[in-house]
Structure 1
């Protein structure tokens, strides 16, 4: 539940690999054949002119060399620079990587995932807020591999480019990725559900764990402090501060029981960071430390929600207490 909007959408653009998220790709499924406003690729070399040396240890930045520039491809091109092992990533998987991103026209390094203070980046390839060039480039990746791939304009930022990063609408990006992990998130939470503590809303999954729950809010006054209850204890790893979680969630207003946001209703899990101030405080305070595979009930008063200003778009007033059911499917 992001602080500034009720619906979890694209992640904010930053000078990390997450700049590739939510950028409105105009590419079709193959990354080619862009729709209105597409910019043709500038004639240039492909990935055969890109090389990288150094160990794939997730600590040492590779030395990337361009034999010539510009590097420009009409579609997403991939090349394995060092082999990995294990499952090959599909759109159902989450891939954790350290990357370097280059402007293929100039060979300039745009972003270095090996820089001091940076951690491994994780991406669930089925996320709708990732541009197609990133998803397609990481498909087939294996743990321990080093892969290079291109993101042409039609599968990246489109004809408008990205001035903040110094990418023109004709520039192809080149990504070199060292793969830390490939794994498949849960698709649902399973297990016997514990009874809801007295005074908190009742939760029923009448249509099963993949459909939205029925939540019955008590007629009593809402709590003035954040309350939480683990209805199903997961068996996965505990969520760590700063990680991104994949979750299904359902949000209601205590006042009238109205639903203001629900990933279950939208039919797709959502991804968001926790413990880093990018979601409402009530989520940061309660979800860090919970285990993957858990179902959690949260009751969050205004001070840990949207504050006295509320959220007009979601019809949440400054005095509304919020109720959430959250199924934690992954943490990365």
Structure 2
């Protein structure tokens, strides 16, 4: 998978928020973006998993971002911060010209998090409440796209709308959904807030000398194998100082990496203790791992991690790519 082109998703180009609200796809989920005459007039044909044939009259404009569900998916609607994988076709609404299209063969689909402030406003809001397997059309006016500057690099003038046809191929879990398990004596305690963000309390005792792993929530999804690319949320805490040194929750987006120690042959790998704690766990699980220095950053430390530090990680396993 690859990241979306920055020119098409950067939210820093605009400050406009979307306020409209109307029922849409996803059981119990209300999209902040309504359907309208512009998004519903986009004609899309073709089988799921193939490049669509798209037709619409030009110029196609909208006062506010509009969304129409072409094909319903299954499962709950997506939420803020959730990781998704999609294919898309993007058009200039004024000229009808294609700006970019995915390969629609699994080799170059797009993966990103629905995080406010990181995506183009029209995209981020328009994809909320979409279901896995769904196909939607979005018509995004300049105010929710590139603003008054347009995008000369893409041939988008200040007055041009954008037309998206998006296939939501995957929607990873927003947080661990497994069955809570009994706490393990001697390990840090974990309390979750309403959004699933963990707070970690470190015991006053000395840190364990070896790797300690416990399941806090038992998921029932696929089992993580060594080398799998996985999507997780995590919080890392220093045992000695009891301070958080890293958290994907704070960044507002899950992390993706290989469940294997990083090396010259393993790209996007992790420290050995982290990899060992993850292998054999199931998607939907939340685990806690206490990692001794020799399985973490050792005598050298790393950035905010001092030398010879014992690390505590609480990890939600959201999916295998």
Deviation at 1:136, TM superposition (A): 2.8
Query: Residue 50 of structure 1 aligns with which residue?
Result: 42
The RMSD of aligned alpha carbons is 4.5
Equivalent residue for 2:256, pick from 268, 273, 279: 273
Q: Quick one: structure 1 residues 208 and 274, their matched pair in 2 at CA, closer, same or farther if it must change by over 3 Å? A: same
Query: Residue 136 of structure 2 aligns with which residue?
Result: 147
Query: Residue 83 of structure 1 aligns with which residue?
Result: 71
Deviation at 1:116, TM superposition (A): 4.8
CA displacement, residues 182-219 of structure 1 (integer Å, 9 cap, x when unaligned): 686456554223536xxxx7221367895512123753
Q: Quick one: structure 1 residues 66 and 25, their matched pair in 2 at CA, closer, same or farther if it must change by over 3 Å? A: same
Aligned equivalents of 1:307 and 1:132: distance in 2? 44
- Structure 2: where are the runs of 5+ without partners? 22-36, 260-266
- Structure 1: where are the runs of 5+ without partners? 1-12, 33-44
Aligned equivalents of 1:192 and 1:120: distance in 2? 36
Q: Quick one: structure 1 residues 238 and 308, their matched pair in 2 at CA, closer, same or farther if it must change by over 3 Å? A: same
SS in 2 for 1:79: strand
- 2:252 is equivalent to residue 260 of structure 1: no
Query: With CA pairs under 8 Å and 6+ residues apart, which has the higher RCO, 1 or 2?
Result: 1
Equivalent residue for 2:54, pick from 28, 42, 64: 64
CA displacement, residues 78-129 of structure 1 (integer Å, 9 cap, x when unaligned): 233x332555735377765322223334444333333555365566657664
SS in 2 for 1:202: coil
CA displacement, residues 266-296 of structure 1 (integer Å, 9 cap, x when unaligned): 5x97412122955754556654653123222
SS in 2 for 1:212: strand
Number of aligned residues:
290
Q: Quick one: structure 1 residues 112 and 207, their matched pair in 2 at CA, closer, same or farther if it must change by over 3 Å? A: closer
Q: Quick one: structure 1 residues 159 and 304, their matched pair in 2 at CA, closer, same or farther if it must change by over 3 Å? A: farther
| TM superposition score normalised by structure 2 | 0.66
Deviation at 1:76, TM superposition (A): 0.8
Deviation at 1:176, TM superposition (A): 0.4
Aligned equivalents of 1:308 and 1:168: distance in 2? 52
Query: Residue 200 of structure 2 aligns with which residue?
Result: 213
